[in-house]
């Protein structure tokens, strides 16, 4: 996270962070839900991908562990390494140590977002959040069926929970 002028950075508890980011996710789902073409039967197709705040970079109704997402082992390792590079690239004030590190991190994030999109297939849109002075989001939707049917099934099951208003327990 890059500190913005006028904002106090403090350590949050895991529960505070979870509540904050779950609200952020729901807000993003509402904001982008109508602008992103939905192939899902439920219109709930936005998977967020970003580092920080949790032990995972994947969010769908809250943080989703790599095991729960049923993504490939290769992608899970790559996402863990990518998140580690995020922390390694920041200084004590949460600023990037160099422009090159930030650029490399963001490019790798886009590659991983494409990989995640391919694994879950055309029923879901992956929103990759880029944190800069002007934060922005990239939306990626595969044109093909899932390359990882287990991952697609896991996200369909999560969408079923949301559609039926049953919320799966969030990992703490």
Give me the tens of pLDDT residue by residue for the chain, a chain 172 residues long.
444 443 343 444 445 555 555 555 555 555 444 333 444 554 558 899 998 778 899 998 789 999 999 999 999 999 999 999 999 999 998 889 999 999 999 999 999 999 999 999 999 999 998 766 666 788 899 999 999 999 999 999 988 877 676 555 555 4
134 located within any domain: yes
* pTM attached to this predicted model: 0.72
Measured between alpha carbons, how far is 27 from 56 in angstroms, rounded to an integer? 20
Domain count, the chain: 1
Domain hosting 125: range is: 14-163
168 located within any domain: no
Distances (CA, A) of 145 to 28, 39, 53, 92, 153: 25, 11, 31, 43, 12
146 located within any domain: yes
3 located within any domain: no
169 located within any domain: no
8 located within any domain: no
107 located within any domain: yes
Helices 99-120 and 149-163, axial angle in degrees (round to 10): 80
103 located within any domain: yes
Enumerate residues 6+ apart whose C-beta is below 8 A from 140. 113, 114, 117, 125, 126, 127, 128
């Amino acid at each position: 996270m890059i500190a913005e002028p006028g904002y106090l950075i403090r350590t949050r508890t895991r529960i505070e962070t979870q509540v904050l980011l779950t609200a952020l996710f729901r807000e993003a789902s509402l904001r982008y839900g109508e602008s992103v073409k939905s192939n899902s039967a439920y219109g709930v197709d936005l998977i967020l991908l970003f580092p920080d705040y949790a032990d995972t970079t994947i969010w769908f109704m809250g943080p989703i562990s790599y095991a729960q997402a049923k993504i490939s082992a290769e992608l899970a390792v790559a996402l863990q390494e990518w998140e580690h590079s995020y922390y390694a690239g920041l200084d004590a004030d949460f600023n990037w140590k160099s422009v090159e590190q930030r650029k490399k991190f963001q490019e790798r994030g886009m590659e991983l977002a494409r990989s995640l999109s391919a694994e879950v297939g055309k029923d879901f849109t992956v929103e990759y959040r880029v944190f800069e002075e002007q934060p922005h989001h990239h939306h990626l939707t595969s044109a093909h069926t899932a390359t990882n049917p287990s991952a697609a099934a896991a996200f369909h099951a999560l969408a079923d929970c949301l559609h039926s208003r049953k919320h799966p327990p969030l990992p703490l």
